[in-house]
Amino acid sequence: MTLVRNSPVSLYQQIADQLRADIARGEFDPAGRLPSEAEMGAKFGVSRVTVRLAFDDLEREGLIERRKGKGTFVAGKQVRHRIDTLRSFHETLKMQGLEAKMQVIDLRAIETPEALQLHFGKRCSLLERLHIVSNDPIAVGRSFLPIGISEIAKKDIEKRPTYALIEDYAGRPIVNAEIAIGARATDRRIGSLVQANSGAILLVMERNSYFADGACAESSEFFIRPERYKFVLSNHN
């Protein structure tokens, strides 16, 4: 769009009009992130102050939201997770075209929690990863896995979804999963990792996945910032 410099409509209003149209057409990246004020200023050939005025208008209208240290996003833009499809958390992010990555927080062999000893024996692997979308942390995943997973190099763990890791290690596919969804006040550690205030309410997805013979493949919890994540169930007749 070329701005009309001698128009009775101010430059920032023209920019706001263009951005409204772009938002309506879904022009921005899958995470809903808008270019920065500096990038917008370069695109339109105006100052950052002019762009900021356009953003102010859109924010008042509820079309965008500014997040300190993160950028500006289309309001209400959320990642969608189909809970009726057998797919790992990371795969769900990638399939939506998101710039998703995982960062290993913890990977070690531990004494298996008593409730899981029937599945994994006395020792198992603990894997915690931070899930990041467009440099924005959105979730922490905590998984209890077969003991041998803890011996895999962290650089490989960061690149591979949980299901792929397990299936390669076990040599057989995961065929079903039980999923429960709730909400929980975060503790200080998890809140710090996902940049939420201590005590903030996070979505919690609990998942137990199984091989064809009924053996448990993994037991996981995901602590998820709710403003950017939505669970979806498709009902097919």
Would you state the torsion angle of the CA atoms of residues 143, 145, 149, 151, taken in this order, to the nearest 10 degrees? 80
Predicted confidence at residue 1, as pLDDT, reads 65
- Token couple for 181: 């969804």
Q: Which CATH number fits domain 11-74: 3.40.225.10, 3.90.1170.50, 3.30.310.50, 1.10.10.10?
A: 1.10.10.10
Burial group, residue 147, by CB count within 10 angstroms (0-12, 13-18, 19+): middle
In order along its 237 residues, the chain shows pLDDT tens digits of 678 888 888 999 999 999 988 887 878 766 678 899 999 999 999 999 999 999 999 998 888 888 877 788 887 666 777 777 788 888 888 777 777 899 999 999 999 999 999 999 999 999 999 999 878 898 999 999 999 999 999 888 988 899 999 999 999 999 999 999 999 998 899 999 998 887 889 999 999 999 999 999 999 999 998 877 778 776 654
Is the entire prediction scored with pTM above 0.85? Answer: no
CATH 3.40.1410.10 domain span(s) along the chain: 79-232
User: Angle at which helices 11-24 and 48-60 pack, to 10 degrees?
Assistant: 50
Classified by CATH at the fold level, domain 79-232 comes out as Chorismate lyase (3.40.1410)
Predicted confidence at residue 83, as pLDDT, reads 79
CATH 1.10.10.10 domain span(s) along the chain: 11-74
